Amino acid sequence: MKSEFAKEVVKAIEAGMHGSPFDVLGMHRREGRRPGVVVSSFQPYAKEVCVVDKGDGTHYSLSKIGADGFFEGIIADREIFEYRLRITGYDGSFIEVEDPYAFQPLISDFDLYLFGEGTDYRTYEKLGAHFRVVNDVAGIHFAVWAPNALRTSIINEFNRWDGRCLPMQQRGNSGLWELFVPGMKPGDLYKFEIKGPDGFLGQKADPYGFAAELRPRTASVVWDVRRYGWNDGEWMEQRRERQWHKEPISVYELHLSSWRRVPEEGNRWMTYRELADSLIPYVKEMGFTHIETLPVSEHPFDGSWGYQTIGYYAPTSRFGTPDDFMYFVDCCHREGIGVRWDWVPAHFPKDGHGLAYFDGTHLYEHADPRQGEHRDWGTLIFNYGRNEVKTFLLSNALFWADVYHIDGLRVDAVASMLYLDYSREAGEWIPNEFGGRENLRAVEFLKRFNELVHEQYPGFTTFAEESTAWPMVSRPTYLGGLGFDFKWNMGWMHDTLEYMSKEPVHRKYHHSNITFSLLYAFTENFILPFSHDEVVYGKRSMLDKMPGDAWQKFANLRLLYGYMYAHPGKKLLFMGADVAQWNEWNYQSSVEWNLLDFLPHQQANQCLASLNHLYRRIPELHEIDFSWEGFEWIDFHDSDQSTVSFLRKTDNPDGKHTACVFNFTPVPRMNYRMGVPALGYYREIFNSDAADFGGSNVINGGGVMSEDVAWMGQPCSIAISLPPLSAVWFRYEG
């Protein structure tokens, strides 16, 4: 039989080199000849292929034209009709399937325009793999951006991962390829095979894939992310009205792989649902307001802790399915706990199945290594100047807020995004168009990110991990800021830990480490972090950083936490510090929960819980964190005794305030006089030296009356017993 198509076309289909398969495959009218239709199908593993009329069941055999499985048949005197393909294998078995090339592309021209323009911020609703019913036929619609590809195909188990079998249709000049595949369903595995320029042939996971196989496997998994039934409506409605700058935020940062493992079952990870049952009650009991996880998005290398992301739209399969992760978030919300996690739009790994060199060109990254390579981490930097790349990332941020009800994102490595010369020597970077070192495209991206998430999801919060003096990180974009809600106070963290690591006898020579932070405390909306980065790679655990013998180490740690919770700024503490762990964090093992069998660790844990609950209950400790109106020094000059004291205040007319004093030496100070603003009773609401916390129990009998004795610039004063290595808070009761 003579083919309707030229030999070159048949060979191109069989070789997987045809970029417009709908021109050849499927059913087409015969033009200029005897009326009828021609049907073509490429089935390299079939012995026979028939067309089955859906209307009357008539079978029409196709002839094998090419050597590698190109089948074709002419059906005379027929107009286009609905049909299926009956495919018979060499073993005699057969299946009857819908022909993907009987279904026209689904993405509209308007969607293509918005995508190219970079203004479609919900591209996850079109790209990737989506369950669809087209002409009463169920299947999965696939779409991927690969503008420089010569051919893009869907490969899966059904077609034996053969890229010749399901070539996708290119949509004009948009760079998008799409195909509706009938019969595929949620749970099916797939990848994109991309034939690019210069002989490139890659098998890529879906950049917009909603689920992925567990490493070391690398396929994407079809998933319907809209099927979960949420029960957190009350939380979500209330979140819209929350004024987070005036509310307590105490974040429990954790790494899901190593928070708690199951040693009796091979030290396996806990699942999302198991974490919901154990982590949430613990966090609630401890008084934390939020959980912040290290990146949840899919990543191939455990040792990256999630910071080298491959699946930006897929929660990692290590702990369960996307539905399981939704259940975890849902349970947190129903218990009044917010959920945020670390987001990494700064860089991505070079793994062959990921975004790197995606279509045989530098698509998501810069081609020039002076712009496109992160030498510190061996990763690639996103090209923020490309509309489609910005849309990929901006849509991703909205995706987690929309689909997973995430309450906020902490953006990792912001400093590396802002500066073109970040960690580069002279000659290793390219200045911007004005000759400066600022990455203007990244700045624009960060601003737009913050504008979008706040416009579309009121109550959603963003945090910047930014370690430089870039101005106005946490100020609105309309004032010239980057638009973040909060910025991690890396300077405070560094200075405080450096000070606390000193032997107390030497602390008087480093007094400014404790007082300096108040010179800039209100220039940004700061969060005070003791994060995972501070308890790894030889930096020692929080407890082991403290000097002295065992008793002094615990006392110093309680003092540190008392100082942190009194200091202006929201709070963040990494797991393990809550049980006063001796060892550094190890991502391959659990927090050392067995330490809670020992009294000093129990008491340190109880001290932290008390701080959290007090912090949430006492308005002056959190209502005015970002302005001088909420803070007043009492005394910051006493370097010889290594003590500082200050007031935390509110703008309420009742005049309530809390006086906080800190003794950074092991010397108790009896009849220590401290200035206070008013006459009346000052109740001792926290004392880190209390016996219940493992201290020496130098306490003040529940509180003290102030005296009409001016002191330290205050009109009144109290005479107190100031314990060794202690934080003590007194609340004015009138």
Annotate 222-288 with DSSP letters as a single string.
---TT------HHHHHHHTT--GGGS--EEEEE-TTTSSEEGGGTTEEPPHHHHHHHHHHHHHHHT-
Query: Residue 33's pLDDT is what?
Result: 67
> Is the pLDDT score of 147 beyond 90?
yes
Query: Residue 5's pLDDT is what?
Result: 73
Retrieve residue 676's tokens: 């206070």
> Is the pLDDT score of 31 beyond 90?
no
User: What tens digit of pLDDT does each residue of 129-141 get?
Assistant: 999 999 999 999 9
> Is the pLDDT score of 6 beyond 90?
no
Going by the DSSP 8-state scheme, the letter that residue 196 receives in this structure is -
- How much is the mean pLDDT over the chain? 96
Per mean pLDDT, which range of 115-119, 161-165, 416-420, 685-689 is the poorest?
Answer: 115-119
Whether 533 contacts 497, CB under 8 Å: no
Whether 730 contacts 659, CB under 8 Å: yes
**Nearest 5 degrees, angle CA 272-CA 273-CA 275?**
65
Query: Residue 1's pLDDT is what?
Result: 44
> Is the pLDDT score of 391 beyond 90?
yes
Average pLDDT value for residue range 641-668: 94
User: What tens digit of pLDDT does each residue of 243-284 get?
Assistant: 999 999 999 999 999 999 999 999 999 999 999 999 999 999
**Higher pLDDT residue, 65 or 532?**
532
- Which uninterrupted H or E stretch holds 448? helix 440-456
- Burial 609-635, CB ≥16 within 10 A → b, else e: ebbbebbbebbbbbbbbbeeebbeebb
Tokens 């980065």 belong to which residue? 533
Question: Long-range contacts: 540-544, Cβ < 8 Å, 24+?
Answer: 540/584, 541/576, 541/577, 541/581, 541/582, 541/583, 541/584, 541/585, 542/576, 542/577, 542/580, 542/581, 543/577, 543/580, 543/581, 543/582, 543/604, 544/582, 544/583, 544/584
Indicate the SS3 state at residue 97. Answer: strand
Tokens 């009857």 belong to which residue? 96
Query: Residue 384's pLDDT is what?
Result: 96
Query: Residue 654's pLDDT is what?
Result: 77
Going by the DSSP 8-state scheme, the letter that residue 713 receives in this structure is T
Indicate the SS3 state at residue 692. Answer: helix
For the chain, what's the residue count?
A: 734
Query: Residue 2's pLDDT is what?
Result: 57
pTM: 0.95
Average pLDDT value for residue range 415-436: 94
> Is the pLDDT score of 704 beyond 90?
yes
Retrieve residue 163's tokens: 């890229």
User: What tens digit of pLDDT does each residue of 428-441 get?
Assistant: 999 999 999 999 99
Query: Residue 375's pLDDT is what?
Result: 85
Average pLDDT value for residue range 337-360: 97
Whether 642 contacts 664, CB under 8 Å: yes
Please give the share of the chain, as a percent, with pLDDT higher than 70: 99
Residues marked active site are found at 412, 465
